[in-house]
Amino acid sequence: MTNEIAIHIKDLHKSYNGFTAVQSLNFTVRKGEIFSLLGPNGAGKSTTISMLSCLLAPTSGDALLLGHSISKTPRAVKEVIGVVPQEIAVYDDLSARQNLIFWGRMYGLKGKQLARRVDEVLDLVALTDRQHDRAGHYSGGMQRRLNIGIALLHEPQIVIMDEPTVGIDPQSRRKILDGVKELNARGVTVLYTTHYMEEAQELSHRIAIMDHGRIIGEGTHSELIRIVGGLIRISLTLRQSPGNLIEMWRALASVHSVSEENGAISLLVKDSTSILPVVFESTARAGISVTGMDVQEPDLEAVFLHLTGKALRD
């Protein structure tokens, strides 16, 4: 990694008829970095990606990718980036190989170079064995891998990936995450979006947490964890409705925050050993049974909870 800047986002805004999807976005990604945008659905990640890929014009602000402005020189930007869209944008009725050859041509590759890159990419996304089968017959994971492979054909210096692991099995996800690391090891800068904190944590050199179109926290994993200080997260599942227990716990001095979503309760606390007996005693007294409990060291989930007062996952 160097200190040279690969992506420089300057006060980017996007609104749709009065609804602001992205606002006051400012961050930089260094060359050779994996940078993740972590946020729940609707946070504005895809809108940001669309603007960076020059598919969507920003309402205001600009971004520079390797020095090329998305608003002034979009063609130069497109030359240096590879975009993996959130949707699986491949041709179902063509084979993986036909898809790669076609997209390679759209990226301007030809002849021997095209054939070499198609083989390399098939290898990288582990589809060599099934390269002649129709993409429509692939599993979700294979389609996702093809979707990624297409964006790598022209050996872009920056790869932008929008939730590339949504809805696939753990094995395929493993392959994809390893692939991203391998790509990065070859010097490619990666801008990665996800709503899975484990992915952001495992892959990224730096992470920006996004919610409601804004970045609410940014830094390395350990920098972000420091935001929550020594707070520990307790997750509880109750059989009955918690009623006024939540208000009661919130009032306790060593409890930092409490949130409830779909029956799952999260408490951020300074010291779990003193709080846990209180929690059990109060549930017992209210006649509520605890069906699940988990105590976690500080993680990004806790950071998100701390910053927004709600859980990252729904």
Partner 1 sequence: MRIIYLATKDLKQILQQKKSALFLLIMPLLFTWLMGIIFNQNENHDPRLPVGLVVLDDGVLGPHLRTLLNDSDTIRPLTPDQTDTAFIEEQVHSRLLAAVVVVPNGFSAMALDGTMPQLEVIVDRNTPAGQAADRSIQLASTRLLGAVQVARLSAAAAGHSESDAAWQAFVLSALDEAIQAWLNPRAKVVVRPAGIAASAPKGGTQASSGMMVFFATVGMITPGYILLSERHSRTLARMMTTSMTRAEVIAGHVLAMFIVCLVQVVLLTIFGQFIIGVHYWHAPGLTLLMASALAFWSASFGLLISSLARDENQVVLLVLGSTLVFGLLGGTFFPLELTNQSFATIGHMMPSAWAVDGLQDIVLRGSGLISILPTVGILLFYSTAACGAAILLLRRSLKN
Ligand X SMILES: Nc1ncnc2c1ncn2[C@@H]1O[C@H](COP(=O)(O)OP(=O)(O)O)[C@@H](O)[C@H]1O
Q: Which residue lies nearer to ligand X by CB, 42 or 167? A: 42
Q: In what order do the strands lie in the sheet with 255-261?
A: 255-261, 264-269, 232-238, 290-296
- Out of 1, 55, 115, 284, which residue is the one contacting partner 1 (CB under 8 A)? 55
**Pattern 107-146, binding to partner 1, x per CB under 8 A?**
xx--------------------------------------
CB of 41 to Mg ion, least distance (A): 7
DSSP state for residue 134 in the 8-state scheme: B
* 265 binding partner (options partner 1, ligand X, Mg ion, none; Cβ < 5 to 8 Å by kind): none
280 binds, among partner 1, Mg ion, ligand X, none (CB under 5 to 8 A by kind): none
CA angle, 227 then 246 then 210, to 5°:
35
User: In the chain, where does DSSP find H-type helix?
Assistant: 45-52, 74-80, 96-106, 111-124, 140-152, 170-185, 197-203, 221-227, 245-250, 272-285, 300-308
Of the candidates 277, 191, 266, the residue with the CA atom closest to the CA atom of residue 236? 266
Overall residue count recorded for the chain in this entry: 314
If one asks whether residue 93 binds partner 1 (CB under 8 A), the answer comes out as yes
Give the one entry of partner 1, Mg ion, ligand X, none that residue 196 binds, where binding means its C-beta sits below a cut-off of 5 to 8 angstroms depending on kind.
none
Is 219 a binding residue for partner 1 by CB under 8 A? The answer is: no
In whole angstroms, how close is the CB of 25 to partner 1 at the nearest point? Answer: 18
80: left (phi over 0), alpha (psi -120 to 50) or beta: alpha
Judged by beta carbon distances under 5 to 8 A according to partner kind, the member of ligand X, Mg ion, partner 1, none in contact with residue 83 is partner 1
Q: How remote is the C-alpha of 308 from its chain's centroid?
A: 17
Q: Is 88 in the site for partner 1 (CB under 8 A)?
A: yes
On whether the CB atoms of residues 94 and 135 are closer than 8 A, the answer is: yes
For the CB of residue 72, give the shortest distance to partner 1 in the complex, in Å: 13
CA-wise closest residue to 71 among 30, 13, 31: 13
Calculate the CA 208 to chain-centre distance: 9
Q: Is 89 in the site for partner 1 (CB under 8 A)?
A: yes
Give the single-character DSSP code of 314: -
Which of 92, 182, 223, 281 is close enough to bind partner 1 by CB under 8 A? 92
Interacting residue with ligand X among 23, 25, 34, 39 (CB under 6 A): 39
Taking the complex as a whole, the smallest distance from the CB of residue 242 to ligand X amounts, in Å, to 29
Q: Which residues bind ligand X (CB under 6 A)?
A: 16, 19, 21, 39, 41-47
Q: Which residues bind partner 1 (CB under 8 A)?
A: 50, 53-57, 74-75, 78-79, 81, 83, 85, 87-94, 98, 102-103, 105-108, 150
